Amino acid sequence: MSSAAPYTNRDLFSTHFLDDLLPSQPEWTGSREERQRAFETLQALYRREAALLPTLKEKQLESRWVREVFRALGVVFEVGPRLPTDVPAVTLEPDYALFATEVDLRLAQEQRSAGNFEGYFQRARAVGDAKRWGTDFGSAARGQKTPRQQITQYIHLSGVAWGLLTDGRLWRLTHRSVAGRLDRYYEVDLAACLEAGDLERFGCFYVFFRGAALRPSGAGGPCFLDAALRESSAYAEAVGRALSIPLPPSRRRTRCRHSTAGAHTCVTPAKHCQILPGGRLAKTVTHASPRRTPGSTDYLEAHLVPAPVERVADLRNPPLCRVAGGFRHSPE
C-alpha cells in the first residue's frame, strides 16, 4: 500500500500496521459496501462543488463541504463546543466535538446544560477544527497560533484522545499522546482520492475518518483508532526490544577492517560506533538518522539489524565505510 499511498504518515501509526496489518483488518475488508456508498456520495458532491471550494470562506466551506463529509462518513458531531478553561473571561471553541454515538452526544449535552463543560468532553472522542481550503497548517500571522498549534491546544484543554484538522482537501489526525510533537500525524488528501476515482485509495481515508472509527468494538473494547495506535506502539516496542538484544559472539566481535593507523568513527544503521586504533570498540550510542527520529516506528523498522562492516578504503585517504546492503558510513 505504501508505494502509492494517498496518505502521509508522520510516525503516528507504524508502517507495519498500515502496510501489513490493515489490509486484513475487518474494518478494511468488511466495510466495502459502506465505503462504496460514501465514495459515490462524496464524488458526486465534489464534482458539484470542486470549482467553488477554493473560493469559499471558512464557515462557508464548513457548511457546504466539511459537514457533508461528516454526514457521508456517519460521524456524530456538534458544532462549536465551548472548552473548559482556567480563565472564565476566555472562551475557546473548536469547530467540532466528535462523538462515538448519538447517545454519547445527548449525555454530553446534558452535562453542558448543567454547566459541566469537563463532563461534556468526557463523552467526546475527538475535537475537530476546519480552515479555509489551501490553508498552511504550519503557519500563521504574527502573534497568532498556527492551525496545528490550535488543535494541540484544543486536545489539551478538552482532554479528548484525538484531534482532527482539515482544510477540506487535507484531513489530518493526531493523538493526545503525541500532540506536543507537531510533526506527528496521519493525513489524507481527500480531493486526490476522489479525483483518482479509486475506491482502494479512498479506503485509506474512509477507514480512519468515518464515524465507526471512534466507536468501541464490542463491550468496552477500544475503537479502531485506539486499536491501530496501540498495535503500532506495541510493534515499535517489540522492535525496540529486538534492537536491545546483544549480538551473538560472532557478530559482536566483528571489527571495522580499516587500517589501524588511527581512531575513526563508523556509523551503522542502528548504532554510532567509535572505533579506537586496533579496532577496539570505545562506545556505542543511538544513531540519529537525518531522515528518521530514533525511537520512531519507521526508524526502528528501517534499522532493525546492524550489518557487518566491510573495508573499502584505508585511513591514508578520506575514509569511507559501507555495510552489506548499501548503508553508508561517515567516519570522522
Ranges of the chain with pLDDT below 50? 2-3, 247-332
278 and 226 share a domain?
Answer: no
Cell representation of residue 60: 462557508
Helix (H) or strand (E) holding 272: strand 271-276
The conformation of residue 205, written as its DSSP 8-state character, comes to H
* CB contact burial 93-116 (16+ within 10 A = b; e otherwise): ebbbbbbbeeebbeebeebbeeee
Exposure letters 276-293 (e unless 16+ CB within 10 A, then b) = eeeeebeeeeebebeebe
Give yes or no: residues 304 and 253 share one domain. yes
Q: Is 274 found in the same domain as 161?
A: no
DSSP string, 132-155: -TT--TT--STTS--HHHHHHHHH
Whether 37 and 142 share a structural domain:
yes
Do the beta carbons of residue 173 and residue 163 sit within 8 Å? Answer: yes
Same domain, 98 and 11: yes
Same domain? For 224 and 109 the reply is yes
Report DSSP letters for 83-101, one per residue. PP-S-TT-----SEEEESS
Q: Is residue 331 part of a domain?
A: no
**Helix 32-49 vs helix 199-209: crossing angle, to nearest 10:** 100
Please check whether residue 329 lies inside any domain of the structure: no
Asked whether residue 221 falls in the same domain as residue 314, the answer is: no
Q: Which amino acid is at 199?
A: L
Number of domains into which the chain is organized:
2
271 and 230 share a domain? no
CATH number for 89? 3.90.1570.30
Distance separating alpha carbons of residues 282 and 147, to the nearest angstrom: 46
224 and 174 share one domain: yes
Is residue 158 in some structural domain?
yes
Cα–Cα distance between 91 and 158 in angstroms, integer?
A: 13
CB 141 within 8 A of CB 179: no
| CA count, 13 A, side-chain hemisphere, 60 | 9
Domain boundary (237, 262, 280) is at 237
Identify whether 330 is part of a domain: no
pLDDT attached to residue 181: 77
* 280 in a structural domain: yes
Provide the domain limits for residue 262.
248-323
- The reply to whether 135 and 54 lie within a common domain is yes
Residue 332 lies in a domain: no
- 83 falls within a domain: yes
Give the tens place of pLDDT for each residue, 178-231. 867 778 999 999 999 999 999 999 999 999 999 999 999 877 789 999 999 999
Can you give the pLDDT at residue 309? 31
Q: What is the pLDDT of residue 283?
A: 37
Q: Are residues 224 and 200 in the same domain?
A: yes
pLDDT computed for residue 263 by the predictor:
43
Residue pair 62/95 in contact (Cβ under 8 Å)? The answer is yes
As a whole number of angstroms, the distance between CA 37 and CA 210 comes to 12
* Chain position carrying cell 459515490: 40
| Residue 24 CA: distances (Å) to CA of 15, 102, 175, 208 | 14, 29, 24, 15
Q: Which amino acid is at 202?
A: F
Domain closes at, from 237, 265, 293:
237
Based on the fold, state whether residues 52 and 197 are members of the same structural domain: yes
Measured between alpha carbons, how far is 313 from 199 in angstroms, rounded to an integer? 52
Q: How far apart are CA 229 and CA 233, in angstroms?
A: 6
Residue 207 maps to a domain = yes
Domain boundary among 198, 216, 237: 237
3-state secondary structure of 242: helix
CB distance 108 to 97 below 8 Å: yes
Residue 313 is predicted with a pLDDT of 29
Residue pair 183/217 in contact (Cβ under 8 Å)? The answer is no
What does each C-alpha distance from 293 to 181, 242, 303 come to in angstroms?
12, 18, 11
